Amino acid sequence: MSRFHSLFKVRPALTVLAAATAATIAAMSLAVPAHASSHREAPFITSAPKVDGTDFYMFRSYETGRSDYVTLIANYVPLQDAYGGPNYFSLYPNAMYEIHIDNKGDAREDLTFQFRFKNTLKNAALTVGGKSVAIPLVHGVGMTSVGSSALINVQETFTVDVMRGDRCKGNRASVTSKDGASTFIKPLDFIGHKTFGSDQAYQSYANQYVHDIKIPGCELPGRMFVGQRKDPFVVALGKAFDQFNLNPLGASVNGNAADLADKNVTAIEMEVPIACLATATEPVIGGWTTASLRQSRLLDGSSAAGNSNVERVGGVWTQVSRLGMRPR
């Protein structure tokens, strides 16, 4: 089942308040194809779905006691089905995912959060009939909590840097947990009810990966989550591209806007203090998200390369996906 709501309660209407304004939504996918992306509409990005940004949300947090925070959500990897095993929907280790903030009104980034991901293969095994049998899956047995005895065969982790100034040449610092750790764990995607027990059990499991974070240069702590969520966007993808075969008077269950109803995305979610994003003289901010790949790629097909070393990348970062008004 794929209906998981955002931990930060994404709502359809983006709130525009003094210290935060929505920069863009997925409808802006009509920009230059080499740079734009959404739910697979941009032709170039179909060759790299792991770096396909589906939508970006930015709004003032509206949970009780959180009004001094801004919520940032960048969604990637569109059209995830619940039966997407055995590899599911990990993010790409050779990519860089970014959320940019402009707090001067000049359409240039003043603060950027850069996310890098890593998959660690543990070569885990189960004992079956007295013999050690390798697990050809990302997991072994049932999952209930972070500290459970579950056998996780592929552990996905990530790091986050904050860049102040230019996204490439600015001042870099690491975002850390409240305990000072700079590496964070991403929960497994929803594999099914036998693995997690129920939808509610999966939600409880995923909630344990909402990280309290320290952002260098920010007095107050923030929160962060990266993982699989229900796609919050509403669009009749099939009907729209079938020569706009839409019935504005029909119910959404008949296909007008239900194409994403049971689809998931991978959400990069942050809740950041307003004081960290806005300036004293400019209370309005803008934001967008991008994904970049290295300029060159070399594939090693030899058996000696192994699964984790088959791809070698190099060169400068090249932006391949964006949701916002600033191409690079």
Cα(11)–Cα(182) distance, rounded to whole angstroms? Answer: 30
Among 90-99, 198-207, 243-252, name the one with the lowest average pLDDT.
243-252
Q: In the chain, which ranges are E strands?
A: 53-60, 69-80, 95-102, 111-121, 125-128, 131-134, 154-164, 171-174, 176-177, 184-185, 211-214, 222-230, 264-273, 286-299, 311-323
Q: How many angstroms separate the most distant Cα atoms in the chain?
A: 70
Q: Which residue has the higher pLDDT, 9 or 85?
A: 85
The CA angle 102-161-123, to the nearest 5 degrees, is 140
Highest mean pLDDT among 87-91, 147-151, 251-255, 323-327: 87-91
- The pLDDT tens digits of the residues spanning 123-141 come to 777 778 888 888 777 877 6
Cα(183)–Cα(161) distance, rounded to whole angstroms? Answer: 11
Single-letter amino acid code for the residue at 184: F
List for the chain the helix, strand, coil content (%; round to 5): 10, 35, 50
Cα(172)–Cα(112) distance, rounded to whole angstroms? Answer: 9
Coil/strand/helix, residue 205: helix
- The pLDDT tens digits of the residues spanning 3-55 come to 333 343 332 222 223 223 333 323 222 233 333 346 777 778 888 889 999 98
The answer to whether 259 and 237 have CB atoms below 8 angstroms apart is yes
Report pLDDT for 85. Answer: 80
- The pLDDT tens digits of the residues spanning 269-314 come to 999 999 999 988 888 999 999 999 999 988 887 755 556 678 888 8
